Amino acid sequence: MGAASTGSFAATGVAAIPSNGVVVFTDPGEVEKKTGDGPLRDLIVSALSVAKTTVYAVALEGTVAGTVSSVAAGSANTGSGTIAVLGSPRNEYDITAAIIKSGGLNEAAFRVTVDGAEGKIITVPDGDAEYAIPGTGLTIRFAPGAGMFEEGDTFTFSSTEPRATNGEVLEAVETVLDAKLAIEWIAVAGVSSEPLWAALAVKAEGAEPAYQYLFFIAQARGKHQNETLGQWAMALAGVERGNTASTRLEVCAGWIEEADANGQADERNMTGAYCGTLAQRDVRQGPDAVRYGGIKAATALKPDGINDGHIETLKNAGYVTARKITGLNGIYVTSGQMMSETGSGYGQAERRRVTGKACRQIRAAQLFYLNDVVKAGADGSPEGLDMFIAQSENPLRIMKTGGEISDGYVVIPPGQNILSTKTVRAKIRIVPLGKMSCIENEIACSNPALGVKE
C-alpha cells in the first residue's frame, strides 16, 4: 500500500451487476450504471454523496435470494381486484401499488411508489397482466377477479435484500487485499453477523504483516417487525454480539433516514454515510467530533422511537450508532469506536487511522535503507543509524506539526545481532491526541466582594 491513502476505501457486497475484479468509483452518479441496484450501490452512493474520495468495489451476485412479503390490500379497498408479486428483489424495498383510475385489464390505471419515490401513471396491462417494476427485479401480476379495480385501492408489500454467503464476502476481501490498494478500510455492504465479523477481524490482523494497515466496517441487522426497540437493542448487545474483540473492526448498528440528490428519502443503515463521514475528515478528526457537523443527508434518526437508552446499550456493546444532541440540529455519530476491549489504545477510528497513516509513511521512508549495509558494534548490535532514525522519524515530525499526533519517536533497542539476523528492529512510539469526550462544569454563584476566585 502507498503512503497516500487518506480517505480512500474499498467495499464489497451484493449488486445486480456483479463485477469481474475491482471497479473504481469517484462519482455517485456513475455507481448504479456499473452495479445496478443493491446494498453495495446504496453504500457507495451514500459515501460519495458525503465525501469526494475514491472507492474500490467488488460487486457480488449473492447466492442468498431476498424475500418478498405477502401483499396487504388497503383497509379501504372497494374493488375485487388483487395483485401478486413475482421475481427476486435486488434490494430492500417498501412498495405500494395504488389504483388511480377504476376499471379492469387495459382500462384501470395505477402508480407504483418504491421507497417513497412515485412512478408514472400506467394502464393495467392486458394479456399476462404483468408489470415489471424498473430496477427492482420484481413484477406485479394483476388479477381483476369477478369485478374490477377501483380508484383508491392500494396494495403494499416489502422485500429484503439479497445476500452473499460469508465465504463469498471473504473471497471478495481477498481480491481487494491481493490488489494491494491504497486504502484505509474495507466496508461490507448488507446485513452481516458475528461469525463474519470474527473472520474479518482475523483478515485485518493477517493483512498487517503484508504492510496493509487497515480495518473493516460491517453492518448489523435492523429491528425486526415483531420485536420492540428494547428487544432489538438487547439482542444485538447480547447473544448476537458474540465475543469478537478487535481494534480493526467496526460494526454499524445505527439507522437513519437519508435523502439522496433527487430528494428521495430512504431508511438505511448508516454504514455508507459513516464511510463518507470518515473519508471527509482528516485522520485526526473523529467521526463523532461535533465541530465538523452532523451526518450529511441524514434527515431523521431511525428506527422511529429509538431513545438514548437504546443507543447507549448499543454503544456500550461496541457498535457505531447515531444520535441527536440536545441544543443542536442534525444527526451525529455517537462514537466511531472499534469492537475492541474496553480501554484499548486503538478503540477509536481516529486512533486507528492515525496509526495506520504513520505505519504506511514510516515504512515508505525506511524502504530507502532496505538491503543497505550497517556497521556492527562490539556486541553485534547495529551502529551508526542516526540517519536511519531521523528518516524514520520524519513522517512523525510532519504529523506532529500538522496536529495529527502529540509526539512520536523511534528507538533502536540494544543487544541486536545484526550479523546473524540481518534484521534491524526499531520501536516506534506515538503519543496520540487527547479527546474531550466529556465536558464537566461546576457552576456556582460568586461574590466579587470576597475577592476570591476558584
Answer yes or no: is 194 within a domain: yes
Mean predicted confidence (pLDDT) in 223-234:
94
| Residues 301 and 178 grouped into a single domain | yes
Expressed as residue numbers, the domain containing 289 is 9-63+163-333
Answer yes or no: is 387 within a domain: yes
Q: What percent of the chain has pLDDT over 70?
A: 97
Is 342's pLDDT higher than 90? no
Per residue in 295-310, pLDDT (tens digit) is 988 999 999 999 999 9
Q: Report in angstroms the alpha-carbon separations of 372 from 367, 380, 418.
A: 10, 16, 12
DSSP letters along 269-301, please?
ETHHHHHHHHHHS-TTS-TT-GGG-S-TTEEEE
pLDDT at res. 145: 79
Answer yes or no: is 246 within a domain: yes
Give the helix/strand (H/E) hosting 233: helix 229-237
| Residues 44 and 190 grouped into a single domain | yes
CB 157 within 8 A of CB 71: yes
Q: Report in angstroms the alpha-carbon separations of 191 from 217, 242, 283, 395.
A: 11, 16, 27, 38
Rounded to 5°, the CA angle 337-395-333 comes to 20
Range of lowest pLDDT (123-127, 217-221, 420-424, 448-452): 448-452
Answer yes or no: is 363 within a domain: no
Is 263's pLDDT higher than 70? no
Mean predicted confidence (pLDDT) in 151-175:
96
Mean predicted confidence (pLDDT) in 177-189:
96
Mean predicted confidence (pLDDT) in 60-73:
94
pLDDT at res. 226: 87
Q: Is 76 helix (H, G, I), strand (E, B) or coil?
A: coil
CB atoms within 10 A of CB 322: 25
Residue 423's pLDDT band (cuts 50, 70, 90)? very high
Is 264's pLDDT higher than 80? no
Rounded CA-CA distance 350/249 in Å is: 13
Give the helix/strand (H/E) hosting 14: strand 9-14
Rounded to 5°, the CA angle 269-352-6 comes to 80
CB 12 within 8 A of CB 196: no
Answer yes or no: is 359 within a domain: no
User: Of 140, 159, 178, which residue is a domain's last?
Assistant: 159
| Residues 317 and 175 grouped into a single domain | yes
| Residues 213 and 259 grouped into a single domain | yes
pLDDT at res. 117: 84
Per residue in 84-140, pLDDT (tens digit) is 999 999 998 999 999 999 999 999 999 999 988 889 999 999 999 999 999 899 999
pLDDT at res. 262: 56
| Residues 85 and 175 grouped into a single domain | no
Rounded to 5°, the CA angle 377-417-209 comes to 130
User: Of 159, 178, 195, which residue is a domain's last?
Assistant: 159
Residue 82's pLDDT band (cuts 50, 70, 90)? very high
Rounded CA-CA distance 270/203 in Å is: 23
Q: Which three cell numbers stand for residue 381?
A: 548490535
Answer yes or no: is 2 within a domain: no
Rounded CA-CA distance 161/62 in Å is: 10
| Residues 407 and 424 grouped into a single domain | yes
Is 1's pLDDT higher than 70? no
User: Of 159, 185, 204, which residue is a domain's last?
Assistant: 159
Domain of 56, CATH number, reads 3.40.50.11780
Contacts of 451 by beta carbon, 8 Å cutoff, 6+ apart: none
Rounded CA-CA distance 257/263 in Å is: 12
Rg (Cα) of the chain, in Å, rounded? Answer: 27
Answer yes or no: is 338 within a domain: no
Residue 454's pLDDT band (cuts 50, 70, 90)? low
| Residues 265 and 171 grouped into a single domain | yes
Is 328's pLDDT higher than 90? yes
Is 204's pLDDT higher than 90? yes
Mean pLDDT of the chain: 93
* Residue 384, Cβ density class (10 Å: 0-12 exposed, 13-18 middle, ≥19 buried): exposed
pLDDT at res. 146: 72
Mean predicted confidence (pLDDT) in 422-438:
94
Domain count, the chain: 3
pLDDT at res. 3: 45
| Residues 251 and 151 grouped into a single domain | no
DSSP letters along 396-438, please?
HHHHHHTTS-SEEEEE--S---HHHH-----EEEEEPPP----
| Residues 123 and 93 grouped into a single domain | yes
| Residues 282 and 306 grouped into a single domain | yes
pLDDT at res. 5: 57
Per residue in 308-324, pLDDT (tens digit) is 999 999 999 999 999 99
Answer yes or no: is 443 within a domain: no
Residue 447's pLDDT band (cuts 50, 70, 90)? confident
Whole-prediction pTM value? 0.89
Instruction: Please count the CA atoms within 13 angstroms of the CA of 98 that sit on its side-chain side.
Output: 14
Per residue in 3-57, pLDDT (tens digit) is 445 799 999 999 999 999 999 999 999 999 999 999 999 999 999 999 999 999 9
Is 421's pLDDT higher than 90? yes
- Beta strands (DSSP E) in 15-129 are 23-25, 55-60, 72-73, 82-87, 93-101, 109-114, 117-123
Closest CA to 37 of 60, 16, 63, 9: 16
Per residue in 379-402, pLDDT (tens digit) is 878 888 999 999 999 999 999 999
| Residues 80 and 17 grouped into a single domain | no
| Residues 51 and 199 grouped into a single domain | yes
